[in-house]
């Protein structure tokens, strides 16, 4: 193996009992390249990374890192690599400084070297002001950045990162990647697993993993090339062609891999070269089919080979009951001691509207949703949700709302059926009524697993569907979703949003917080929050207009511009 090759894996496989997690993967990584590993939940990304880092021994095949054998010389490999796992690897009670110093000591970094690197790293990570703060009190984004610093302090030649962007707000994620770009210039080889497609686009090479097998290994650009003529945008006039009619028609078309349902149009990935004609023959009304700009995400959808249209959602039993009541707040403030988490927010969400609540970590989104659910005490102002005044004691409010948290709060030691029955009981549903509700919620969410499976054995994507089913059993008027798609693969995300749009079209009001800015595209309106305040509110086009940006500006730019403007306004305000 020559000097210019950092890592070479031949026929790498790993079994866990009967389950083949990684199957016969061979890769060669030249020095200084950045390799992205993309795959669905459970595709084998983490297992592969652990084998490459020498943490996990392969069942068969071999892996050489810097010409060391990963089985027998893993200690030698460990001194020259940085491995950042998905979970946090920091000591919560130690301060930022102490954490960093601890990892430096572990790697025998000398004092002079440490002082030098410490300052550079902390500056890059924007943590200079927080060196004395315990790691446990940092926001999610800051923790990820510190975690990256602890893996860079010994200047590794190979950096292996497992989903670094997971649960991190866009601003922190951008800084994280800026740090990685700096180290790339110093010829650090990077292998990064990700479920963010924009992160995959920043790599030299992308490995597409499915069920432990390597589906594709090429540059992001050449992969995108494969998508030419496969992605379409379908816009329609809802007066002559209702959304549901169009959705059904699209599902009928053979070879359709995905249907993304956006507020004003659909976006499809298809195998069918004649797609435009077929749509025209299925639907003769006013619809326009145009080729759409492909994304790496679509490629993943295409390669997964799954067909989307098999089972249309059954909404016949969704009763149009007390719907069409939304959320209204006036000058809402929530305080914890001296800290103002939500600061004078006035917001109106109409019934049957899908609103995305966006903002960096710590902007107050989750606190506001918790207050709407009666979990946080309102300091000043008022809020009305589904016609009920919001307070921690109003139990009528709780019958009207559904809530799904980031953690998919299920009982893992109970089966899917037991979870559903339990939550049905909590809403006072029992016997046949409960069974009808469970059947309905399972079919709406596409929960097609055997219900006798323990929740702990379900994949993340299925747990997400189960959690959603549990939270809509009682057909709430307003549904709150806190980071509902964290760590879920693209296809499952498409499906999830399809379900949500279906619920919204039936009149349910949905408020969602998300870090995936792309997902804001599914929402009717956006509300941007920062430091507890509502800094911007409206449709995507309205936001772009108010920031003097082009209407088709991508979400991330829009978001960062709005944040930048609010920050500068604050500074000016401070001077005045």
Partner 1 sequence: MPVAFIGLLRKETIQFFRDRVILGLILWLYTIEVVICAMALSFDVENVPMAVVDQDRSVLSRTLLQKFALSQSFDLKHQENDVSVAERHLTRGEVTTIFVIPPGFERSVRAGNQAKVQFLQDGTDSNIAANSLYYAKGIVNAFVREQFPQSRDTNVVSVTRIWYNPQLTTANFMVLSMIALAGMMVGVIHPAASIVREKERGTIEQLLVTPISTMQLFLAKLTPTMIMGILSVFPSLLIVRAFDVPLRGSLALFLALTGVFLLSAIALGVLIASYSRTLQQALLLSFFGLFPVMFLSGTLTPVESMPVFLQALSYLSPLRYYMDIITGIFLKGAGWMELWDETLSLLAIAVPMLILALAVFRRRLK
Phi, psi torsion values for 167, nearest 5 degrees? 70, 20
Q: Pick the closer one to partner 1 by CB: 231 or 421.
A: 421
Q: Pick the closer one to partner 1 by CB: 246 or 434.
A: 434
3-class secondary structure, 131: coil
Q: Does residue 403 belong to the site contacting partner 1 (CB under 8 A)?
A: yes
State in angstroms the smallest separation of the CB of 428 from partner 1.
5
Q: Which of 421, 461, 508, 535 binds partner 1 (CB under 8 A)?
A: 421
> DSSP letter string over 194-260?
ES-HHHHHTSSEEEEEETTEEEEEE-HHHHHHTTTTTEEEEEE-TTTS-HHHHHHHHHHSTTEEEEE
Task: Identify the CA nearest to 161 among candidates 74, 69, 81.
Answer: 81
Q: Does residue 395 belong to the site contacting partner 1 (CB under 8 A)?
A: yes
State in angstroms the smallest separation of the CB of 455 from partner 1.
11
Burial group, residue 140, by CB count within 10 angstroms (0-12, 13-18, 19+): middle
Q: How far apart are the first and last CA of the chain?
A: 64
Q: Does residue 414 belong to the site contacting partner 1 (CB under 8 A)?
A: yes
State in angstroms the smallest separation of the CB of 501 from partner 1.
23
State in angstroms the smallest separation of the CB of 365 from partner 1.
15
Binding segment (CB under 8 A) for partner 1, from list 44-52, 111-119, 312-320, 401-409: 401-409
Q: Pick the closer one to partner 1 by CB: 130 or 403.
A: 403
Q: Does residue 425 belong to the site contacting partner 1 (CB under 8 A)?
A: yes
State in angstroms the smallest separation of the CB of 4 from partner 1.
48
CB 438 within 8 A of CB 420: yes
CB 101 within 8 A of CB 150: no
Binding segment (CB under 8 A) for partner 1, from list 252-260, 309-317, 403-411, 565-573: 403-411
Q: Which of 234, 371, 386, 401 binds partner 1 (CB under 8 A)?
A: 401
3-class secondary structure, 324: coil
Q: Does residue 300 belong to the site contacting partner 1 (CB under 8 A)?
A: no
Q: What is the DSSP letter of 456?
A: G
State in angstroms the smallest separation of the CB of 523 from partner 1.
22
Q: Pick the closer one to partner 1 by CB: 393 or 571.
A: 393
Q: Which of 78, 357, 424, 528 binds partner 1 (CB under 8 A)?
A: 424
Burial group, residue 521, by CB count within 10 angstroms (0-12, 13-18, 19+): middle
3-class secondary structure, 349: strand
Q: Which of 392, 436, 567, 568 binds partner 1 (CB under 8 A)?
A: 392
State in angstroms the smallest separation of the CB of 147 from partner 1.
21
Which residues have C-beta within 8 Å of that of residue 195, sequence separation ≥ 6? 38, 41, 163, 166, 487, 488, 489, 490
CB 351 within 8 A of CB 322: no
3-class secondary structure, 364: coil
Mask of contacts with partner 1, 240-269, x by CB under 8 A? ------------------------------
Q: Does residue 429 belong to the site contacting partner 1 (CB under 8 A)?
A: yes
CB 368 within 8 A of CB 334: yes
Q: Does residue 346 belong to the site contacting partner 1 (CB under 8 A)?
A: no
On the CB side of 367, CA atoms within 13 Å amount to 24
298 vs 320: CA distance, rounded Å: 34
Alpha-carbon torsion (107, 109, 115, 118), positive or negative? negative
Binding segment (CB under 8 A) for partner 1, from list 233-241, 278-286, 319-327, 405-413: 405-413
3-class secondary structure, 109: coil
State in angstroms the smallest separation of the CB of 509 from partner 1.
16
Binding segment (CB under 8 A) for partner 1, from list 189-197, 321-329, 397-405, 509-517: 397-405
Q: Which of 149, 160, 301, 410 binds partner 1 (CB under 8 A)?
A: 410
Q: Does residue 137 belong to the site contacting partner 1 (CB under 8 A)?
A: no
Q: Which of 273, 280, 319, 375 binds partner 1 (CB under 8 A)?
A: 375
State in angstroms the smallest separation of the CB of 409 from partner 1.
4
Q: Are strands 34-39 and 189-194 parallel, antiparallel or unpaired?
A: parallel
CB burial string 99-118: b at 16+ within 10 A, e below: bbbebbeebebeeeebeebb
Helix 170-185 to helix 140-152 angle (10° resolution) is 10
Q: Which of 84, 373, 385, 491 binds partner 1 (CB under 8 A)?
A: 373
235 vs 238: CA distance, rounded Å: 9
Please report where in the chains the tokens 């009717």 appear, as a residue: 524
Q: Which of 273, 293, 389, 412 binds partner 1 (CB under 8 A)?
A: 412
Q: Does residue 399 belong to the site contacting partner 1 (CB under 8 A)?
A: yes
Binding segment (CB under 8 A) for partner 1, from list 55-63, 141-149, 325-333, 408-416: 408-416
Please report where in the chains the tokens 């189960």 appear, as a residue: 466
Q: Which of 204, 211, 418, 556 binds partner 1 (CB under 8 A)?
A: 418
Mask of contacts with partner 1, 459-478, x by CB under 8 A? -----------xx-------
59, two tokens: 């069942």
Q: Pick the closer one to partner 1 by CB: 53 or 479.
A: 479
Q: Which of 428, 436, 550, 567 binds partner 1 (CB under 8 A)?
A: 428
> DSSP letter string over 47-84?
HHHHHHTTSS--SEEEEEETTEETTT-HHHHHTTEEEE
State in angstroms the smallest separation of the CB of 401 from partner 1.
7
Q: Does residue 426 belong to the site contacting partner 1 (CB under 8 A)?
A: yes
Q: Which of 62, 155, 411, 556 binds partner 1 (CB under 8 A)?
A: 411
Binding segment (CB under 8 A) for partner 1, from list 8-16, 170-178, 304-312, 421-429: 421-429
Would you tell me which residues interact with partner 1 (CB under 8 A)?
Answer: 373-375, 377, 392, 395-396, 398-399, 401-403, 405, 407, 409-414, 418, 421-430, 470-471
């Amino acid at each position: 193996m020559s000097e210019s090759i950092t890592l070479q894996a031949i026929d790498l496989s790993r079994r866990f009992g009967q389950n083949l997690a990684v199957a016969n993967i061979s890769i060669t990584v030249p020095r200084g390249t950045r390799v992205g590993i993309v795959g669905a939940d459970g595709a084998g990304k983490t297992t592969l990374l652990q084998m490459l880092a020498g943490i996990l021994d392969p069942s068969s095949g071999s892996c050489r890192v810097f010409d060391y054998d990963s089985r027998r010389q893993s200690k030698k490999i460990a001194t020259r690599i940085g491995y950042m796992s998905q979970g946090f690897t920091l000591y919560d009670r130690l301060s930022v400084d102490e954490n960093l110093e601890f990892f430096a000591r572990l790697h025998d970094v000398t004092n002079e070297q440490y002082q030098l690197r410490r300052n550079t790293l902390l500056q890059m990570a924007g943590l200079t002001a927080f060196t004395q703060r315990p790691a446990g009190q940092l926001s999610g984004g800051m923790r990820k950045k510190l975690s990256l610093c602890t893996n860079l302090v010994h200047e590794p030649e190979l950096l292996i990162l497992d989903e670094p962007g997971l649960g991190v707000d866009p601003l922190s994620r951008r800084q994280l990647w800026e740090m990685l770009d700096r180290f790339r210039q110093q010829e650090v080889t990077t292998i990064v697993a990700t479920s963010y497609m924009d992160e995959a686009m920043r790599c030299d090479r992308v490995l597409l993993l499915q069920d432990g097998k390597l589906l594709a290994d090429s540059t992001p650009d050449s992969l995108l090339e494969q998508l030419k003529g496969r992605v379409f945008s379908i816009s329609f006039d809802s007066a002559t062609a209702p959304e549901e009619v169009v959705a059904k028609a699209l599902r009928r078309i053979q070879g359709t891999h995905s249907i993304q349902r956006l507020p004003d149009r659909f976006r499809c990935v298809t195998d069918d070269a004649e797609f435009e004609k077929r749509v025209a023959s299925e639907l003769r009304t006013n619809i326009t089919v145009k080729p759409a700009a492909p994304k790496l995400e679509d490629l993943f959808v295409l390669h997964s080979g799954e067909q989307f249209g098999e089972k249309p959602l059954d909404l016949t039993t969704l009763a149009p009951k007390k719907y069409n009541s939304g959320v209204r707040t006036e000058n809402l403030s929530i305080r914890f001691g001296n800290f103002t988490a939500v600061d004078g927010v006035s917001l109106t969400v109409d019934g049957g509207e899908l609103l995305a609540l966006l903002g960096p970590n710590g902007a107050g989104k989750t606190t506001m949703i918790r207050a709407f659910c009666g979990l946080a005490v309102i300091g000043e102002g008022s809020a009305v949700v589904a016609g009920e005044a919001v307070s921690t004691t109003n139990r009528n409010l709780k019958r009207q709302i559904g809530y799904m948290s980031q953690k998919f709060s299920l009982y893992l030691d109970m089966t899917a059926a037991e979870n559903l029955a339990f939550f049905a009981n909590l809403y006072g549903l029992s016997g046949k009524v409960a069974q009808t509700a469970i059947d309905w919620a399972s079919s709406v969410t596409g929960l097609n697993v055997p219900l006798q499976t323990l929740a702990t054995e379900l994949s993340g994507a299925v747990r997400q569907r189960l959690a959603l089913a549990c939270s809509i059993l009682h057909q709430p008027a307003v549904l709150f979703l806190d980071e509902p798609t964290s760590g879920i693969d693209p296809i499952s995300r498409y499906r999830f949003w399809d379900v949500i749009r279906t619920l919204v079209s039936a009149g349910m009001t949905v408020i969602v917080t998300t870090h995936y800015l792309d997902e804001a595209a599914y929402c009717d309106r956006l509300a941007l929050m920062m430091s507890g305040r509502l800094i911007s509110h409206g449709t995507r086009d309205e936001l772009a207009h108010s920031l003097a940006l082009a209407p088709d500006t991508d979400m991330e730019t829009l978001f960062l511009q709005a944040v930048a403007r609010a920050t500068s306004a604050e500074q000016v305000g401070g001077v005045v």
